[in-house]
A and B are shown apart, each in its own frame.
Chain A
Amino acid sequence: DAGITQSPRYKITETGRQVTLMCHQTWSHSYMFWYRQDLGHGLRLIYYSAAADITDKGEVPDGYVVSRSKTENFPLTLESATRSQTSVYFCASSEIKRKAFFGQGTRLTVV
C-alpha cells in the first residue's frame, strides 16, 4: 500500500530493554522525521533525516538512536527504555518542507 506506515501500532516494554520502532514510506520522500507526542508538550522533534545516511538531532534526542540506510526506512531505537519515554511516536515524511505526511503512530508504554 502506498503511504507511510509505522509498526508496531502498540508496544509494551520493560525498563532497560532496547526497542525499535519502524517507519516505512513508499513515496521516496527525501525528508523523514520522528516526533513524540505527550500531553502538555505537543509534538516534539526527536530526529530528522534529509536523505539516506544523513540524520540530525531534533529537540529531544537523548536516549534515542536513528539510522537511514535506505530512503524508504527510518527506524527509531530506544537503547535502554525508560518510563519517561512512554509516549505516542509519530513518523513523518516530506519532499518539500511544508507538506509532511504522518503515519498512524506507535503507542509505546514502558513499565
Chain B
Amino acid sequence: QKEVEQDPGPLSVPEGAIVSLNCTYSNSAFQYFMWYRQYSRKGPELLMYTYSSGNKEDGRFTAQVDKSSKYISLFIRDSQPSDSATYLCAMTYRDDKIIFGKGTRLHILP
C-alpha cells in the first residue's frame, strides 16, 4: 500500500461548480498536510497547508483534514477555467521529508 493515495483523474467539471479533491494516507505519523497546484510544464506551487485535523479556508479554497479517517480534502468554490491544473496533496513526517500523492488532473469547462 502506498503511503499516499490520490485519484489521478482527469476530473472535468463545469465553470462555477464546487470541486472536491481527495487523498487518503496510511501513516498516522504525518503531521502537516498540504495542497500544491501545478500548471502544465511548471513547478508545483503551494496552495494551502494545515496542521492536524480541521478546516482551513483561503478565498475560494478550503482544506480539510480528518486524521481519524486518514483522509484529506481540498474544496474549490466557484471554480474558474484558470483553476485547471494538476493538484497534488502532500504530507510531512517529523524528519522533514515531504511525501506527495500522484496528483489529480482537473479541467474546468467554460
Proximity bits, A30-57, B CB within 8 Å = 1, else 0: 0101010000111111001010000000
B77 CB within 8 Å of chain A: no
- The tally of CB-CB contacts under 8 A between chains A and B is 54
A42/B101 contact (C-beta < 8 A), A50-B96, A97-B92, A98-B49 known = yes
A103 CB within 8 Å of chain B: yes
B88 CB within 8 Å of chain A: yes
A92 contact set on B, CB distance < 8 A: 43, 98
B32 CB within 8 Å of chain A: yes
CB of B43 within 8 A of CB of A102, answer: yes
B45 CB within 8 Å of chain A: yes
What's the tally of chain A residues with a CB closer than 8 Å to chain B?
A: 24
CB of A42 within 8 A of CB of B102, answer: yes
Chain B nearest CB, measured from A86 CB (Å):
16
CB of A45 within 8 A of CB of B42, answer: no
CB of A97 within 8 A of CB of B98, answer: yes
Assembly CA distance A94 to B98 (angstroms): 11
Assembly CA distance A40 to B49 (angstroms): 24
Proximity bits, B43-64, A CB within 8 Å = 1, else 0: 1111001010000000000000
- List 24 A–B pairs whose Cβ atoms lie within 8 Å, in order of A's numbering: A31-B96, A35-B100, A40-B102, A42-B6, A43-B88, A43-B103, A44-B100, A45-B98, A45-B99, A48-B97, A90-B43, A90-B44, A94-B98, A97-B96, A97-B98, A98-B51, A100-B46, A101-B45, A102-B43, A102-B44, A102-B45, A104-B43, A105-B42, A105-B43
A-B residue pairs, 10 tightest by C-beta: A42-B102, A102-B43, A43-B100, A98-B32, A98-B49, A97-B92, A102-B44, A104-B43, A97-B96, A105-B43
